[in-house]
Copies of this chain bind each other. A is one copy, B any other.
């Protein structure tokens, strides 16, 4: 008789966003007339920019002709896209990354979930708390954690690095060095950014201790301040200790188009085996490349027209962030983030739990956000609002929250 992967049974409840969707659906069924505004899930709302739509149409036309048709592409991604990525995201920032070190995929969520597979199951893993649940759950599934511990609110064996208002949402370097360290800056969910000197300290720490940093840079397009690095490779020595993951979802609205990439520098070597070669093997064996038409759309992200249109899109969302921050302050809330990130992280009033505040917002003013505790024990008492709505919805949501 076959057996299942028992690690799955350690997972807690359903995935955070599924639970939110369920509660909203239940509310809407009970109140079909309600006008619910969603500032919860990190999904964008602006349509795909014209330069990208044009590139998509062109690529679709190619696929319909014998000369233009493209079948299986290179698993690692087309050269035209990897060149554009390197030129714009790395060389322009003084980072020494080559196209061979770029692996194009159908999104950062997949990469973030898959990357742990090339590491042994005996590695210790550190995550920020609160944290994007995918880092945790994929390591639970792979067996790198113990059981869920109701006392600590976390998984045994996993190293949680609390990020709270007390430490400015910036994790301390652990005394005992973990093998794998997940970092995400600008941060989901807290909206906190990291300064270059602070990130350099992480890189030095990883190099000193033989750790690998798995760096999620999905929100770098929202950085507005000087001195905040867009890539971990801006730090000296990062080529020897860091893997970086990027998304096209937040900077270009590709949540429904699906595109991302991962950078594995060839300097990352463990006892003579390069991580690049392992990931290349995984990519070649288990993946067949992102759709050609979507890769052409990705290329258009880096065109002059695309860049200009996307700067406007980011500015649009950041205007929402400003509205939310100002509105919350006026209403007497304490809130963080929203300056270098599209997320605002607020303290729940009167010591309410995150889910109680979720239910209150939904029931009393029909606004949906994300309970901080869904991101980890240290997220309890916090709540995430996103800047990805329309101006109209954001303004209305903030007006309603002001009435609470």
Chain A interface residues toward B at CB < 8 A: 1-6, 8-9, 11, 14-15, 18, 41, 43-48, 50, 53, 56-57, 60-61, 63-66, 68-73, 106-107, 109-110, 113-114, 117-123, 133-134, 137-138, 141, 179-180, 209-212, 253, 255-258, 270-271, 273, 275, 278, 281-282, 284-294
* Residue of B47, B61, B117, B141 touching A69 (CB-CB under 8 A): B47
Say whether A3 contacts B71, CB under 8 Å.
Answer: no
- Identify 9 residue pairs between A and B in the complex whose beta-carbon atoms are under 8 Å apart, listed by A's number: A2-B270, A3-B120, A3-B122, A8-B278, A11-B281, A15-B285, A47-B63, A48-B64, A256-B292
Partner of A4, one of B43, B119, B141, B211: B119
B286 with A109: CB separation less than 8 A: yes
Set B45, B60, B118, B210: member contacting A71, Cβ < 8 A: B45
A1 in complex: contacting residue of B43, B138, B179, CB < 8 Å: B179
With A134-B285, A137-B285, A291-B294: A2-B123 Cβ-Cβ less than 8 Å: yes
- Which residues of B have CB within 8 Å of A258? 106, 288-291
- Roughly how many angstroms separate A354 CA and B233 CA in the complex, as a whole number? 46
In the complex, chain B residues whose CB is within 8 Å of the CB of A256: 63, 69-73, 289, 291-292
Cross-chain contact B4 with A286 (CB below 8 angstroms): no
CA gap between A118 and B3 in the complex, in Å: 9
Question: Known: A64-B48, A69-B45, A270-B3. Is A114-B15 also a contact (CB below 8 A)?
Answer: no
Bound-state CA distance A122–B1 (Å) is 11
- Assembly CA distance A258 to B257 (angstroms): 12
> Quick one: closest B residue to A180, CB to CB?
B2
Minimum distance in angstroms from A291 CB to a CB of chain B? 5
Name A43's closest neighbour in chain B (CB-CB).
B71
CB nearest neighbor in B for A289: B258
Q: CB < 8 Å: which of B43, B65, B113, B273 contacts A72?
A: B43
User: In the complex the two chains form, is A117's CB within 8 Å of B11's CB?
Assistant: no
Query: When chains A and B are docked, how far (Å) is the Cα of A25 from the Cα of B258?
Result: 31
A53-B60 contact, Cβ under 8 Å, with A8-B278, A117-B5, A281-B15: yes
Report the Cα distance A44→B368, complex, angstroms.
46
Query: Do A270 and B180 form a contact, CB below 8 Å, given A45-B69, A113-B286?
Result: no
A115 to chain B, nearest CB (A): 11
B41 touches A65 (CB 8 A): no
Residues of B within 8 A of A8 (CB): 118, 273, 278, 281-282
CB distance from A181 to the nearest CB of B (A): 10
A119→B4 CA distance, assembly (Å) = 4
Instruction: Please tell me if the beta carbons of B120 and A5 are within 8 angstroms of each other in the complex.
Output: yes
Of the residues B122, B141, B255, contact of A282 by C-beta under 8 Å? B141
Q: A4-B119, A48-B69, A211-B2 are in contact. Are A287 and B109 (CB under 8 A)?
A: yes
Please give, as numbers and ranges, the residues of chain B lying within 8 Å of A48 by CB-CB distance. 63-64, 69
Among A107, A114, A258, find the residue whose CB has the most chain B CB atoms closer than 10 A.
Answer: A258
Q: In the bound complex, how far is the Cα of B25 from the Cα of A362, in angstroms?
A: 60
- With contacts A106-B106, A110-B286 known, what are 5 further pairs, Cβ within 8 A? A1-B270, A5-B117, A107-B288, A114-B286, A138-B285
Residues of B within 8 A of A44 (CB): 71
Min Cβ gap A279→B in Å is: 10
Q: Which residues of chain B come closer than 8 Å to A293, judged between CB atoms?
A: 56, 257, 293
